[in-house]
Amino acid sequence: MATDAWQATACILCTCNCGLKVQLNAEGTDIARIKGDADHPASQGYVCNKASRISYYQHGADRISSPKRRRADGTYEVIDWPTAIAEISERLRTVRDTHGGDKIFYYGGGGQGNHLPGAYARSTLSALGVRWRSNALAQEKTGEFWVAQRMFGGWPHGDFEHAEVAVFLGKNPWQSHGVQRARATLREISKDPNRTLIVIDPRRTETADLADIHLAVRPGRDAWLLAGMIAVLVQEDLIDHPWLADHTRGAAAVIDTFRTVDVGNCAAVCGVDAEALRTTARCIGRAISVAVLEDLGVQMNRNSTLVSYLQRLLWVLTGNFARPGTHYTARGLGGIGNGAERGRSPVLGERIIAGLVPCNIIPDEVLCDHPNRYRAMIIESANPVHSLADSAKWRRAMRALDFSVVIDVAMTETARQADYVLPATSQYEKAEATFFNFEFPDNFFHVRAPLFAPRNGALNEAEIHYLLLEALGALPAGVEEALNRALDEGGREAFQARVFTLLAEQPTLADFAPVLLYRTLGRTLPEGMRNAATLWALAHQHALGHRESLEGAGFSGEGMDLGEAFFDALISSPSGLVVSSEGWDSVWARVPGGQIELALPELLADAHALTRTQPEETSADYPLLLAAGERRSFTANTIIRDPEWRRKDGEGALRMHPEDAARINLGERSQARVISAGGSAQVTVELDERMHRGHVSLPNGMGLSYTHADGTARIVGAAPNELTSTDLRDAYAGTPWHKTVPVRVEAL
Ligand SMILES: Nc1nc2c(c(=O)[nH]1)N[C@H]1C(S)=C(S)[C@@H](COP(=O)(O)OP(=O)(O)OC[C@H]3O[C@@H](n4cnc5c(=O)[nH]c(N)nc54)[C@H](O)[C@@H]3O)O[C@H]1N2
Ligand SMILES: Nc1nc2c(c(=O)[nH]1)N[C@H]1C(S)=C(S)[C@@H](COP(=O)(O)OP(=O)(O)OC[C@H]3O[C@@H](n4cnc5c(=O)[nH]c(N)nc54)[C@H](O)[C@@H]3O)O[C@H]1N2
Ligand code: SF4
Ligand SMILES: [Mo]
């Protein structure tokens, strides 16, 4: 690889996946220089402080380079790939044949920067008959998806670049992004006297510093605040009646519910001044355009599904949908955000949203003697022992399984509980892409080429799944050969024709398409792009289903040629490309029947009941509420494991209001113990006047057991899920209440 040329790639530390341009060192082994990629259609050259240190991901000392097998004493021995694949496939086959493939659980499939593993896993899951799966979305977004699906038939996003009023609810985009170019957009809104930035957050965050209105809601009480604001809109008639009549169903039931809600009482319960609550509601009611973004502050909290509903009522009652500056549903490749309900989980019978088992119940659906319990797990590109509620319970669940395998780049907390660990190539050693693309009217996609040669001993996930399928004897006979023959003899056109005839003859082949494409078409792709082959099917699907939006983006071609042209562009646009361009009418076309459903009966009933109750989250034993897992300037889930990468807050301090600290004789940098009903952790205290009194916070992604190059292991900071509980969860979606975990803090 050239060393003086700028190569395009992306940052993998958050969902934005900002485009990067990098120069490698002379040996081609490391990144020498990094800058934002001005050619990236969404990030346009923007990067935040974290991107410059992504080498720490690539060069983690605990990256693994050979398969490992657990010994009886809990240590691991290195084994070769043929042994690993033979033993793993045999163990999976045994579980399937003895108990059924539906007893094998799949967790993960991708993180913030890599979603191709999930695509390839589909083939393995289908060969094994795996039915139950989940990933991190089911511990944050499923409640929101469920509400959005029922109201809009999809997942709406806000147009913050053009909104007159921008509302961030339990969201700190200055640190966590979630909108492209977040800091630039926040600054623009903040300095424009005609626009209003509203932040609803118990903490005076960096985003709140820029806000025109900051409502420091009492932790866990957002539902009362939002109910009060809707009541103001209803009672002061700031509602867009003609628009509601044209575009929605069920408005009368909503208006009826909030007509009698006591605004003063809501304000008192949520701890926000009643006049400030009213002013904020009026500001939303009178604005030309409003966009709202909710995130973990409410999603990992009490009444989270209800809050996802109430915040939407605020902007639908005021007509803020399908216009610039409001909300839209995007058209992209893939479909993150379909919140359809698909039955109930096999042991506890809890609601499955978006096909994902609620994360909080997974260990309980292992640790039982129910005949339907999960007996084996395949975990790929995820670290649930660290990232899901109750790490101790997760460790027990992992060890209670008949069999487990982890596919990861590093020896993680989860890998350390698995029977086998398989080393994957890093995201900079293979083609990668994510499906976190939600822009409008122009949406984009970014297929990244590798920067480095694969590390010896590691394989990309497409190859791993191929090897497993081969060992399982699951690959349909003769198909790979037939496709390769077609390619060699008649090129892409013959290949395409062969694929479609085969699919017509055997529709179940679609499940094996990812791996088959990798093995056939993949061979013919440019160096390093082989594992992007699965996108060929997606490109054709997109072209067949959405010709107009693809043509809007500048693509052309008769019949199937459109899909071919699109695929070729996908894999040869190093900075990403626009994949759909649409008008605002298309947003209405995606809403079922063109009518937003406003009345979700069980949630309206909850809202009615809630405004007549007085909540109680703390107790004498646990008088404080812990936000377990805050985003800070140097956190990135567990993607970077080396603690040295953090330039600030290296230990991940416990933030605490000085008055709360003084009461228990804690000062700046005191050592303390945080104790919850389920566990405890030692922390360093940071006095922070920005915190709400009674609320303390710990960052996410800390407390990793990182083994340095010299073999010494050190744990830095507290792992938040040693303190959390699987029982504190939402009634509808099962999402955790991590932002308000009852705790006490004791001086050490
Ligand atoms: N730097 C960094 N950025 C990231 C990540 C990272 O690890 N580090 N992770 C990425 C991921 S996976 C995600 S999901 C997003 C999450 O992004 P955010 O949701 O923005 O992240 P958090 O900091 O966890 O929570 C947001 C805010 O919720 C507030 N909050 C706590 N309790 C309450 C409450 O009761 N009510 C309200 N209204 N607010 C409350 C907190 O004070 C905090 O400011 O960030 C992404 N971006
Ligand atoms: N208490 C508490 N818990 C939380 C949160 C919180 O705020 N509080 N935040 C939650 C949120 S919002 C999220 S999204 C989750 C995230 O938690 P997880 O979904 O578990 O994901 P990550 O921590 O991002 O870890 C991704 C894993 O992928 C591995 N990896 C990286 N690149 C590759 C690759 O190319 N191939 C493979 N096979 N593996 C790779 C990394 O080594 C890492 O182990 O954490 C959640 N956990
Ligand atoms: S961490 Fe920063 S640079 Fe990286 S993708 Fe997110 S916003 Fe962009
Ligand atoms: Mo997340």
Q: Give the residue among 330, 445, 505, 333 at the shortest CA–CA distance from 19.
A: 445
> Among 41, 2, 43, which residue's Cα sits nearest to residue 22?
2
Q: How many residues would you count in the chain?
A: 748
Residue 666 pLDDT: 97
Cβ of 177 below 6 Å from ligand 3: yes
* Residue from 270, 618, 631, 632 whose mutation best tests the ligand 1 pocket (most atoms within 8 A of CB): 631
DSSP string, 474-507: -SPTTHHHHHHHHHHHHHHHHHHHHHHHHHHH-G
In a domain, 357, yes or no: yes
Residue 455 has what pLDDT? 87
CA-based torsion, 470, 475, 478, 481: positive or negative? negative
If asked whether residues 162 and 298 sit together in one domain, one would say yes
Q: How far is the CA of 636 from the centre of ligand 2 (A)?
A: 8
Q: In this structure, are 216 and 301 located in the same domain?
A: yes
* Ligand 3 atom nearest to 17, measured from its CA: 5
Same domain membership, residue 229 and residue 190: yes
Alpha carbon distance 674, 683 (integer Å): 7
Ligand 1 atom at shortest distance from the alpha carbon of 221: 35
Domain boundary among 423, 454, 479: 423
49 and 88 share one domain: no
pLDDT value of position 1:
46
Residues 714, 74: Cα–Cα separation, whole Å? 18
- As for how many domains the chain has, the answer is 4
Q: 142 vs 183, 351, 374, 518, 565, CA distance in Å?
A: 27, 10, 21, 31, 35
> Is there an atom of ligand 3 within 6 Å of 18 CB?
yes
Helices (H) and strands (E) in the chain, counts: 25, 30
pLDDT for the residue numbered 335: 77
Which ligand 3 atom lies nearest to the CA of residue 636? 1
Please check whether residue 377 lies inside any domain of the structure.
yes
What separation in Å is there between the alpha carbon of 440 and the centre of ligand 2?
27
659 and 732 fall within a common domain: yes
Same domain for 219 and 131: no
* Residue 687 belongs to a domain: yes
CATH number at residue 5: 3.30.200.210
pLDDT in tens, 219-276: 999 999 999 999 999 999 999 999 999 999 999 999 999 999 999 999 999 999 999 9
Q: Enter the tokens of residue 286.
A: 């009178």
Q: Among the bound ligands, name the one nearest to the CA of residue 216.
A: 1
Q: State which residues form the domain around 369.
A: 68-140+353-423
CA of 140, closest atom in ligand 2: 12
Which residue ranges in the chain fall short of pLDDT 70?
A: 1-3
Cα of 137 vs centre of ligand 4, distance in Å, is 7
Q: Is residue 538 part of a domain?
A: no
pTM for this entry: 0.98
* Euclidean distance between CA atoms 720 and 738, whole angstroms: 9
Whether residue 459 lies inside any domain: the answer is no
Q: Which two tokens stand for residue 746?
A: 């004791």
380 lines ligand 2 (CB under 6 A): yes
Distance 17 CA to ligand 3 centre (A): 6
Inter-residue contact 458 to 424 (CB < 8 Å): yes
Angle at 48 between CA 44 and CA 50, to 5 degrees: 130
- Check whether residue 731 and residue 692 sit in a common domain: yes
**Residues having CB within 6 Å of any atom of ligand 1:** 14, 140, 169-172, 175-178, 200-203, 205, 217, 219-220, 222, 295-298, 301, 627, 629-631, 635-637, 700-701, 739-740
Residue 701 within any structural domain of the chain: yes
Burial of 4 (0-12, 13-18, 19+ CB in 10 A): exposed
Same domain for 388 and 301: no
Instruction: Please provide residue 483's backbone torsions phi and psi, each rounded to the nearest 5 degrees.
Output: -70, -40
Residue 527: the pLDDT is: 87
CA of 742 to the centre of ligand 1 (A): 18
Burial class (CB in 10 A: 0-12, 13-18, 19+), 15: middle
Whether residue 688 has its Cβ less than 6 Å from ligand 2: no
| Closest ligand 1 atom number to CA of residue 695 | 32
Domain CATH for 118 = 3.40.50.740
Tell me which ligand sits closest to the C-alpha of residue 121. 2
Do residue 122 and residue 255 come from a single domain?
no
* Domain shared by 309 and 419, yes or no: no
Tell me, yes or no, whether 125 and 148 share the same domain.
no
Which of 397, 423, 449 terminates a domain? The answer is 423
Domain harbouring 207, CATH code? 3.40.228.10
Say if ligand 3 is within 6 A of residue 51 CB. Answer: yes
- Report the CATH number that the domain containing residue 726 is assigned in CATH: 2.40.40.20
> Cα–Cα distance between 527 and 452 in angstroms, integer?
12
- Tens digit of pLDDT for each residue in 449-475? 999 999 889 999 999 999 999 999 999
In a domain, 1, yes or no: yes
* Residues 288 and 371 occupy one common structural domain: no
Residue 19 domain-assigned (yes or no):
yes
